[in-house]
């Protein structure tokens, strides 16, 4: 299991004003934003090994499955998960329809702009807000709400659209793997229907290759037209132990490469590493406080603690 440090992994948006210090050793370098260190070498060596016909490590195209966490791996996750910004904006947008929220926590704190108090109720409070904002509409209406939000919402620090807060080196990695016959999947604790409206455009990953947490939906005929209505009930939590379960449910085949950045990805990496033949697991380790954010063991989100120990232990 490799770790790479975010000196090489900065948000594309942040790169714009920063001197480009990576040494480009070859005009055809498929990973130009990566430092020429052991992580890059390990990736290139792995891809060469599994794609070389006749090699004892050769893996047929159909089995070249690579899975990626999203928050903190493909796009940033500081100062909080981007979907949480969406939740808060939706609470504000829906507030006129819910006069009772003015007096009711955690909604009241959100409406006062007090995010810290709103989140004081922990996961329970967050789930209450997710259910109040993510359910009650059809799947198509929800996709449109997500698209409309992304078209105008801005990251509070960089003032960039959230879909520009993606890591250039990881975009290169996705493209490099696909050019070598890999099928790339997202396996995220984030909402599956929160990601699907934009992952194809931003990452080149189509909706059927996005795995995430979900709420239940119900098939209904409305005026004779079939719709799927989103219900305020959790269907699947795609985090930690849930990631191998989600991978099995959606893909039905064990990945040969997996990429994460937090303890929430540990089981996915263990599941991937435990298969036969060549396997590649990588932890993105955020260490660049100047161009991005530096965080690991003590972070309130995207905590990397057990995973860092296991990565060090197993190399």
Does residue 127 bind a copy of itself (CB under 8 A)? no
Closer residue to a copy of itself in complex, CB, 112/306: 306
| Contact status, residue 8 vs residue 35, Cβ threshold 8 Å | yes
Show the tokens assigned to 29: 């370098």
Residue 194 in the binding site for a copy of itself (CB under 8 A): no
- State the Cα–Cα distance between residues 107 and 105, nearest whole angstrom: 5
Please count the residues of this chain forming the interface with a copy of itself, following the rule CB under 8 A: 36
Q: Does residue 264 touch a copy of itself according to CB under 8 A? A: no
64 is a contact residue toward a copy of itself (CB under 8 A): no
**Nearest-CA neighbor of 76 among 256, 230, 299?**
299
Give SS3 for 104.
coil
Q: Show the tokens assigned to 20.
A: 């480009």
Q: If binding is defined by CB under 8 A, does position 193 make contact with a copy of itself?
A: yes
Contact between 183 and a copy of itself per CB under 8 A: yes
For the bound state, the minimum distance from the C-beta of residue 129 to a copy of itself, rounded and expressed in Å, comes to: 23
End-to-end CA distance of the chain: 5
Give the count of beta carbons closer than 10 Å to the beta carbon of residue 117. Answer: 15
Token couple for 12: 């594309």
* Residues 6 or more apart whose Cβ sits within 8 Å of residue 27: none
Task: Find the shortest distance in angstroms from Cβ 7 to a copy of itself.
Answer: 31
- The answer to whether residue 237 forms part of the interface with a copy of itself (CB under 8 A) is no
271 binds a copy of itself (CB under 8 A): yes
Tokens of 91: 């609470």
152 closest CA partner among 102, 234, 93: 93
Q: Which of 20, 103, 116, 219 binds a copy of itself (CB under 8 A)?
A: 219
Residue 101 sits in the site that holds a copy of itself (CB under 8 A): no
Element holding 126 (H helix, E strand): helix 122-134
Residue in 98, 102, 253, 297 binding a copy of itself, rule: CB under 8 A: 253
Q: Least separation, in Å, of the C-beta of 262 and a copy of itself?
A: 17
Q: How far is the CB of 123 from a copy of itself (least distance, A)?
A: 20
Q: Is the dihedral of CA 245, 42, 208, 149 positive or negative?
A: positive
Residue 281 — φ and ψ, nearest 5°? -125, 135
The stretch among 10-18, 44-52, 212-220, 307-315 that binds a copy of itself (CB under 8 A) is 212-220
Classify residue 122 by burial, with Cβ atoms within 10 Å: 0-12, 13-18, 19+. exposed
Q: Of the ranges 5-13, 30-38, 193-201, 307-315, which one interacts with a copy of itself (CB under 8 A)? A: 193-201
Q: Is 258 in the site for a copy of itself (CB under 8 A)?
A: no
Verify binding: residue 260, a copy of itself, rule CB under 8 A: no
> What is the rounded CA–CA span in Å between residue 120 and residue 139?
30
Stretch that binds a copy of itself, among 49-57, 163-171, 221-229, 283-291 (CB under 8 A): 221-229
Neighbouring-strand partners of residue 210 = 186
* Min separation Cβ 243 and a copy of itself, Å: 8
Which residue ranges make up the site for a copy of itself (CB under 8 A)?
62, 65, 139, 183, 192-193, 196, 200, 206-210, 214, 217-219, 221, 225-226, 228, 235, 241-242, 244-245, 248-253, 267, 270-271, 274
């Amino acid at each position: 299991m490799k770790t790479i440090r975010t000196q090489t992994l900065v948000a594309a948006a942040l790169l714009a004003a920063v001197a480009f210090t990576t040494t480009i050793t070859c005009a055809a370098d498929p990973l130009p934003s990566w430092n020429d260190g052991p992580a890059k070498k390990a990736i290139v060596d792995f891809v060469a090994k599994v794609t070389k016909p006749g090699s004892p490590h050769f893996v047929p195209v159909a089995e070249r499955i690579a899975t990626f966490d999203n928050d903190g791996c493909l796009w940033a996750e500081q100062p909080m998960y981007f979907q949480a910004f969406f939740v808060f904006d939706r609470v504000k947008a829906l507030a006129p329809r819910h006069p009772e929220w003015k007096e009711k926590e955690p909604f009241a704190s959100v409406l006062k702009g007090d995010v810290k108090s709103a989140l004081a109720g922990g996961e329970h409070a967050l789930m209450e807000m997710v259910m109040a904002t993510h359910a009650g509409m059809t799947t198509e209406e929800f996709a449109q709400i997500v698209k409309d939000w992304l078209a105008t919402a801005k990251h509070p620090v960089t003032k960039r659209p959230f879909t520009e807060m993606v890591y250039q080196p990881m975009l290169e990695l996705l493209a490099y793997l696909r050019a070598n016959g890999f099928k790339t999947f997202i396996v995220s604790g984030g909402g599956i229907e929160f990601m699907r409206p934009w992952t194809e455009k931003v990452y080149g990953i189509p909706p059927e290759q996005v795995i995430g947490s979900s709420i239940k939906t119900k098939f209904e005929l409305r005026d004779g037209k079939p719709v799927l209505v989103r219900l305020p009930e959790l269907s699947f939590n795609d985090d930690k132990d849930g990631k191998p379960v989600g991978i099995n449910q959606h893909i039905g085949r064990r990945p040969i490469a997996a990429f994460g950045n937090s303890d929430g990805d540990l089981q996915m990496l263990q599941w991937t590493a435990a298969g036969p033949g060549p396997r590649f697991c990588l932890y993105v380790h955020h260490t660049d406080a100047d161009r991005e954010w530096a965080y690991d063991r003590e972070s309130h989100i995207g905590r990397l603690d057990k995973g860092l120990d296991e990565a060090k232990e197993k190399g």
